[in-house]
Structure 1
Amino acid sequence: MPFSDCLFVTNSPDTAVTVNCSQNFSFKNCRDYSFSELLRECRKAAFHSEPASLVFSEKFSCRLYELQASFPQLYFKKMNSKIHSDSNQLNNTINKKNRDYLLKINQAIKTKIPVLMIGESGCGKNYNARLIHKKTGNPQNNFFELNINEINPNLMETTLFGSVKGAFTGAQFDSMGFFECAKNGTLFLDEISYLSRDMQVKLLGVLDKNTFRKVGGIKEIASTARMIFATDSNLRNLVKEKKFIQPLFYRISVLIIRIPPLRERLEELTMLAINFAREQQKTIAPDALKKLHSHHWPGNIRELKNCIQRSCVQTYENTIHREDIAFDHEFFDFSEA
């Protein structure tokens, strides 16, 4: 039976990512459910230990928030379908920016080339770096994260590469740096634009030769860490301004992934909000989810998490309602800052 609007439901985040990364999704036995049947099927999928998925007509789209709140362990995806007699294909209507970002995440998972993530502060660069690490190779290997802006520039070389005994006053024993700690794992360097020019040259040498030397040492040590970089700055402009060396930019930007801000990824907002509330042993009512969807989210995921935590504190009930939701701009006027 042909219909144009559908909802894809799955209990597997891996399946959800696969569907997001595909322009077309083929399925069989697509059918039109009554709402009671839909609830029963969702309940089955929610408690099914193996990956389970279903597709149903979106005539219940007005009750989607109710479904999402009732089954926080499920992933819901709105789609537009064109059912043909020769081939059943479900065309994903996720917007192009999100599809491109998800496709590139999938590409990064399949390879170990350097990745540069760009996007606004709080948009989820750290989360996606961990996702790539988890899905690439052995997730048991180490994941190390270093925010360049948090480290004293005078200590950056020792922090990254380690040092040998006697390299400087107080160096009473050999120390390991992040490159050595992340051996065979992933090293995520956030805020890479804050790296000093001298350290940019040294990092370029490491990426070119895949070896490094500890401070005060002469032994070349193999660098086997998967490299992921992130920034919320425009590196191309910094290159033009001579604040970031061009060879390093080319070296770290083999695969550039723009992480869209949360306001462009509202289909993910519900899942994130439910998970943040669950961390506080709370659930979210449909009216609260609708209010969350109406906000612009200038602070992205970080602001969303803060908002949910605040709401959990303000309500005495086990469920967050619309009146419990308060956004940052209701407390502070950032325009005057």
Structure 2
Amino acid sequence: MDASAEGPLTSQQVQGFSSIATQLAASIGTVILGKPELIRLALTALFAQGHVLLEDVPGVGKTTLARAIAASVHGQWRRIQFTPDLLPADVSGVTIFNQATRGFEFHPGPVFANIVIADEINRASPKTQSALLEVMEERTVTVDGVPHPVPRPFLVVATQNPVEMDGTYRLPEAQLDRFLVKLSVGYPDEAVEIEVLRGANVRSPESLPPIADTNIVAEMIRMAQRVHIADPLYAYAVRLAAATRTDPRVRIGVSPRGVIALTRAACAYALMEGRAWILPEDLKALIGPVFAHRVLLNPDAALRGATADDVIADALRSVPVPLPGGGAQA
């Protein structure tokens, strides 16, 4: 599966991508039972070179999913438990004076890994949360004016408890905007929960065999960047974002970064489906996970019970879907 060549992807490359993605999803699915779409969306973020935010109540498997992804990709991974007393240097690293060499040396923090699990990220202070802003966007950590690149590929899988719970800090808008998707695990159904209980003592993410290494994942990321997007679909993505910005219930709509995230995610999603081109259905399937956490409602709309999902649903209804022949479907 060589993605180094330019030009359209071959059917063999597309099949190879889809096969590895299917194997990864199946492997993770042996630990995260009954959540195939959640796993698919998390892998989409990995191949789109994005980051994943998992928000839900404690005990539904957020950290387990993050650990399962890390175990399935043979590379460096680190887990950071975010707490109120965690400092930015505990995340990014620190420069220390070496008495032997009479010079300063950089000691990298746990963020220097291919996959970083930021567990309960909203339990740390905003100052510590901001330590991830630069590295999530630029894949570089600057300490004392010196930039230090992190390993590639680089993925942050963060978990957070709902902001209504005690002991949490709300993630700022700039931090939320750096996550490609925000996902919710949700409670399992009865049959799945019984199956979880049966295997609770024997199944762990660390038992998963690695399906791909970092070189293969980096190749798949490059392949996703070569998926074809027709001009009408670029316009469709922009108009969907514009609809959120002009909605009277919205204080802050989807940013240009959010539009880029949607098209990048759609490219990876299409390849996982076995296509080298995206369809309007790909954008529709991803608009919720990619856009919802970027839509901020004004206080009056929030008090009336409006949600970001309502805004996105109205955007989908109001923006015509482009047709293959170049027209639009109302």
User: For the pair shown, which has the larger CA radius of gyration, 1 or 2?
Assistant: 1
User: Taking structure 1 as the reference length, what is the TM-score of the superposition?
Assistant: 0.43
Higher relative contact order (CA 8 A, sep 6+): 2
